[in-house]
Amino acid sequence: MEPAAHQVPGAADGGAHPPGDAQADGADGVDGTGGADGPGTELGTNEPRGASETEGPKGSGGDTGTPEDGARTSEAGAGIPEDGAGTYDDAGTPEDDAGIPEDDAGAPDSAGIPEGEEPAGVAALSLPARIFVAIALAVVTVGIAFHVAMVFFQTAPYNTISKQHAEVIDAYVNPEFERNWKLFAPNPLQQNVAVHARATVAKDNGDTQTTGWVNLSAMDGEAIRGNPAPSHTQQNELRRGWEFYTDNHDEKSRPIGLRGQLSEDYLKRIVMRRFGPELNGGSVERVQVRSAVTPVAPPKWSEERIDVKTQYAVQPWWQVTSADLPGGGK
């Protein structure tokens, strides 16, 4: 005799059949029921369905044999552990920590920074601070580009831009960033030039005195020697002032045009900055400069013979006025 047909909850006949009712051996389980192997289990529990309550008829065949949460579970036939570990929820995702993290810890926020970590660098600044940093960076970049361009056009051969903007370029480069080609051929500098100065001072008793020659170039050399960062004034002020003077005077030390007179005033003020208004117990009334030119001796292996005797070129006396004193007579 064939076994009786298995009724499922909510069948059309309306009869209530406990979900845990045992079936005959060999009967196939109906989809949504426990089948012949044993009763089905509630989601995430070890209790048989119907242990706490018995499902009544659903009234529709479409919901037959399914728990209230709609999940299909089996005690042994579906490969789900008996203790409920690793069971699946309604969305089919693991409930334990083996898959997606349960909370949002470590998830990146909208800025791409993991939650719980503080931003670093510029990202940690406020919006006004970021704007200020961006503006400062732009200003520094433009300043560096302008400086490089000015030095390049001053050093490069004459071209349309350097000729058209010669005054602007020279005003920016000279004297702080001035450079020349005297270290290179065809006419490298082969002599040492020193500038000396002396003064006539008036004593309180009415007497006058002429001081000895003071080597101004040697003063600059002492300040530069051993100094890892000497000032541009110590390196170039006196040297450039003397070159300015000689370029605008003839062989008899007579000024050539307006620049000749201007070079005299410039060199005289350089000397007065070194001497000051009072010297040797008296007031400075006049100053005089001279050049001391010493040729550079050739190397020992050279057959060239040069007279290395120092040659002096003495300039006229210049009367000192209040405009020549430090401060320009203000």
Q: What is the DSSP string of 63-114?
A: GTT--TT-----SSTT---TT-TT-B-TTS-BSSTTSS-SS-TT-B-TTS-B
Low-confidence ranges of the chain (pLDDT < 70): 1-116, 180-187, 328-330
Output the pLDDT for position 77: 44
Output the pLDDT for position 307: 86
| Listed residue (42, 10, 8, 38) closest to 23, CA to CA | 38
Residue whose pair of structure tokens reads 């898959």 in the numeric block = 99
Alpha carbon distance 19, 50 (integer Å):
6
Output the pLDDT for position 29: 41
Q: Let me know how many helices (H) and strands (E) the chain has, helices first.
A: 7, 7
In 3-state terms, what secondary structure has residue 163?
helix
Specify whether the backbone of 196 is left (phi greater than 0), alpha (psi in -120 to 50) or beta. Answer: beta
Output the pLDDT for position 326: 78
Output the pLDDT for position 20: 44
Output the pLDDT for position 22: 41
Please, which residues bridge with residue 292 across strands? 194, 312
Q: What is the pLDDT of residues 50-100, one digit of tens each?
A: 444 444 444 444 444 444 444 444 444 444 445 544 444 544 444 444 444
